[in-house]
Amino acid sequence: MIDLHTHTIFSDGELIPSELVRRAEVCGYRAIALTDHVDSSNIESVVSKVVRAARDLNSHQRVRVIPGVEITHVPVDMYKYLVEEARRLGANIVVVHGETLVEPVLPGTNRAAIEAQVDILAHPGLISEEDLILAKEKGVTLEITARKGHSLTNGHVAKEALRIGVPLTLNTDSHSPSDLIDRQMAEKILLGAGIPLDKIKGIFLHAEWLVNKAISSR
């Protein structure tokens, strides 16, 4: 199991990084990204804390811990700057909080995130065909999510991403211990999104690729 979208007490998660990583290890995780919510007000403090936590935990844990961020609810013209700033500060996975149906995300967020070449566009809702095509061109990965509410459009995201050829990854968007899942549940969620069984292995392999890319960018 690889999970590239989780939260700790550095934003609205319930656990400190060490406990989140330990619980993930028990669930069979091999890699996890700590991607707390940021905007311009807290990006420096959050990234510095996550980078330090990942460094310390990687020296003791078998689970690979990747420092990251989730840029959330910011004006659409700020994404390019904040994505670049997050990477400059040491975030090796940059996620953007996409246009989920269950929150008032600004219209145009999906497009702005893709144009900024974010690593993962999380829960992108009823993403348009034009944005899907651009995501393919820019190499942006779309998320199939285990998170309640955000998962309402998993079927749309999966169907259209597979049709157009946009890469997918499965993440939990964990905020609490009960949000973590094992590989078996991850496979069920992908099947439930309408992804054919013969495509599921490729999604997990793509997660491996994202981890390797993140490690090499350090």
Residue reference for tokens 């609205």: 12
**Which structural domain, as residue segments, surrounds residue 194?**
2-216
Structural domains counted in the chain = 1
pLDDT at 61 over 90: no
pLDDT at 107 over 70: yes
Tokens at residue 183, please? 């590989």
- Which pLDDT does position 162 carry in this prediction? 98
Local structure of residue 148 (DSSP, 8 states):
T
Q: Write the Ramachandran bin of 117: left for phi over 0, alpha for psi from -120 to 50, otherwise beta.
A: left
pLDDT(134) > 80? yes
Residue 172, pLDDT above cutoff 90: yes
Tell me the percentage of the chain whose pLDDT exceeds 70. 100
Q: Is the pLDDT of residue 218 over 90?
A: no
- The CATH number assigned to the domain holding 36 equals 3.20.20.140
Average pLDDT rounded to a whole number, residues 94-115 = 98
Is pLDDT above 80 for 26?
A: yes
Residue 76 in this model has a pLDDT that exceeds 80: yes
Q: Is the pLDDT of residue 3 over 70?
A: yes
Mean pLDDT of 55-83: 96
